[in-house]
């Protein structure tokens, strides 16, 4: 067991919301904050390995400019001078974006992804690119390009993935703000494994133009933070209309008042979703939140739904998409590719056009089923994962063991609660609620109708109490 969390430095242990107030009040200098941040990154990089690229000199120069702007009395953005990190699947102008792959080890984009550009406009300063499994193909964070990223709670278990580097950087207090991306749970899984808050927003609310087929996309960019308040703050900077995103066409206000009373809510409780096993401590963490909702007056009813049945459709979409992207490079450069990705690509090559069309039909069916539930319920609540963080050296293509039983593939067995909402577009938020007897974090997930992010933040904040709320 290893535990590398709080730094002991009040600046590094503060939330982004607190830091923003201190910077704007001139109580701290962006230069001092950046220097301490980079010192923490340098100290932990060899041990935790959360970064693929660190841009210290650029970050210091930008912190100096941020200081000049403050002293000149210029109008400051809400994140002025605050360090942030970006998962290395997300394009960043002038800074290499490797996709976690040796195939793209020197790839330098010509423009920022929309959320990155928006954070820069808000005054935040990027300090580097964080680790990810190669092309985000698995829920662990390791690969031939950079090695393995370790969970700051315990080196023997995974930090999750594929946004593991972002989660580890936040959990170990290297930064307060991180962007991850989520194609099946890749924000929420590492957030749950590292005791953090992670949001996959409504499809299109945070523009993500990286997919070659935006009309069938199931990938999202979103925040990973140590508090609900910070996740809300970051979400508000990166969300909003963009004409280039086919699902981001509505500039309408988001639904879900932050002041909505809990006792007005009807909540669907999903303890299982077709999975045959769930770890007792994961179940108890979510049940505790159910009890608190009921104490606050919410009407909670258990609902039966089978998300595991959607696993094949999800795999058809994931594996065929990756194969289409990399088919031209497999024969000549397979030695550069993670062996677990090779297996995924081989699977992708076997799917047919009929399989892909049937997967789309299943995606539609699941969307309609969830929409039907939201005619009766305002929210869904579930565990984020069916088991605590898995062993760090587990083969992601092997069977998962929960409660001493082999229970199938990793998606349907470990994270059946997350990937369906990538296909249906509904917003999903994970937040920490306690720890296992071994000291590992436990996550709880809230899901709402499209555009209900405000409601998710409000309810999650009402459920976070004491030491279970962030780090």
Q: Which of 236, 220, 239 is nearest to 228 (CA)?
A: 236
- Where helices occur in 374-430 by DSSP H, the ranges are 410-414, 420-424
246: its two tokens: 């086919």
323: its two tokens: 């194969």
The torsion region of residue 403 among left (phi > 0), alpha (psi -120 to 50) and beta comes to left
Catalytic member of 7, 29, 162, 320? 162
Helices (H), strands (E): how many in the chain?
Answer: 15, 15
Q: Report the length, in residues, of the chain.
A: 471
Q: Which of 107, 78, 77 is nearest to 94 (CA)?
A: 107
- Report strand pairing: 299-302 vs 147-148: unpaired
Catalytic member of 29, 133, 186, 227? 186
208: its two tokens: 């993500």
Instruction: Kindly give the interhelix angle for 339-350 and 311-333, rounded to the nearest 10 degrees.
Output: 110
Distance in angstroms (rounded) separating the CA atoms of residues 242 and 375: 29
Q: Which of 143, 124, 123, 122 is nearest to 132 (CA)?
A: 143
Distance in angstroms (rounded) separating the CA atoms of residues 320 and 470: 37
Is 56 annotated in the active site? no
Distance in angstroms (rounded) separating the CA atoms of residues 96 and 470: 31
Is 162 annotated in the active site? yes
Distance in angstroms (rounded) separating the CA atoms of residues 148 and 462: 36
Secondary structure of residue 180 in the 3-state scheme:
strand
Question: Please, which residues have CB within 8 angstroms of residue 290's CB and are 6 or more apart in sequence?
Answer: 267, 269, 300, 381
Catalytic member of 7, 87, 138, 468? 87
Secondary structure of residue 315 in the 3-state scheme:
helix
Distance in angstroms (rounded) separating the CA atoms of residues 92 and 167: 19
Secondary structure of residue 405 in the 3-state scheme:
strand
| DSSP code for 299 | E
The β-bridge partners of 268 are: 301, 380
CB 403: neighbour CB atoms within 10 A? 12
Q: Which residues are known catalytic residues?
A: 87, 162, 186
């Amino acid at each position: 067991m290893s535990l590398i969390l709080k730094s002991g430095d009040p600046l590094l242990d503060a939330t982004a919301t607190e830091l923003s107030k201190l910077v704007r009040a001139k109580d701290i200098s962006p230069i001092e904050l950046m220097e301490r941040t980079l010192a923490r990154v340098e100290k932990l990089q060899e041990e935790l390995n959360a970064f693929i690229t660190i841009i210290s000199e650029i970050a210091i120069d930008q912190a100096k400019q941020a200081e000049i702007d403050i002293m000149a009395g210029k109008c400051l953005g809400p994140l002025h001078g605050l360090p942030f990190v970006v998962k290395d699947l997300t394009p960043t102008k002038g800074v290499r974006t490797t996709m976690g792959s040796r195939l793209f080890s020197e790839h330098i984009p010509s423009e920022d992804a929309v959320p990155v550009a928006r954070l820069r406009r808000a005054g935040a300063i990027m300090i580097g690119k964080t680790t990810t499994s190669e092309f985000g193909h698995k829920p662990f964070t390791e690969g031939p390009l950079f090695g393995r990223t370790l969970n700051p709670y315990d080196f023997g278990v995974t930090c999750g993935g594929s946004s593991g580097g972002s989660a580890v950087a936040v959990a170990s207090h290297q930064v307060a703000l991180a962007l991850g991306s989520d194609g099946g749970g890749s924000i929420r899984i590492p957030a749950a494994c590292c005791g953090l808050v992670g949001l996959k927003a409504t499809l299109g609310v945070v523009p993500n133009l990286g997919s070659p087929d935006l009309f069938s996309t199931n990938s999202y960019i979103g925040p990973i933070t140590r508090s609900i308040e910070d996740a809300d703050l970051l979400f508000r900077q990166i969300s909003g209309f963009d004409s280039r995103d086919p699902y981001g066409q509505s500039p309408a206000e988001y639904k879900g008042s932050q002041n909505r009373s809990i006792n007005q809510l009807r909540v669907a409780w999903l303890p299982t979703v077709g999975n045959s096993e769930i770890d007792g401590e994961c179940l108890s963490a979510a049940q505790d939140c159910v009890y608190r909702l009921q104490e606050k007056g919410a009407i909670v009813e258990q609902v039966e739904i089978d998300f595991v049945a959607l696993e094949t459709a999800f795999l058809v979409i994931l594996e065929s998409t990756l194969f289409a992207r990399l088919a031209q490079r497999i024969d000549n450069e397979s030695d550069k590719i993670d062996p677990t990705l090779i297996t995924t690509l081989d699977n992708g090559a076997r799917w047919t056009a009929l399989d892909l069309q049937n997967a789309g039909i299943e995606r539609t069916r699941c969307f309609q089923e969830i929409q039907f539930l939201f005619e009766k319920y305002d929210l869904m609540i579930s565990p984020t994962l069916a088991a605590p963080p898995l062993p760090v050296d587990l083969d992601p293509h092997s069977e998962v063991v929960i409660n001493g039983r082999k229970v199938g593939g990793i998606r349907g067995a470990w994270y059946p609660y997350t990937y369906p909402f990538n296909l249906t577009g509904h917003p999903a938020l994970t937040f920490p609620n306690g720890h296992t007897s071994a000291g590992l974090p436990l996550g709880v997930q809230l899901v709402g109708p499209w555009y209900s992010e405000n409601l998710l933040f409000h309810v999650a904040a009402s459920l976070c109490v004491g030491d279970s709320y962030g780090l």
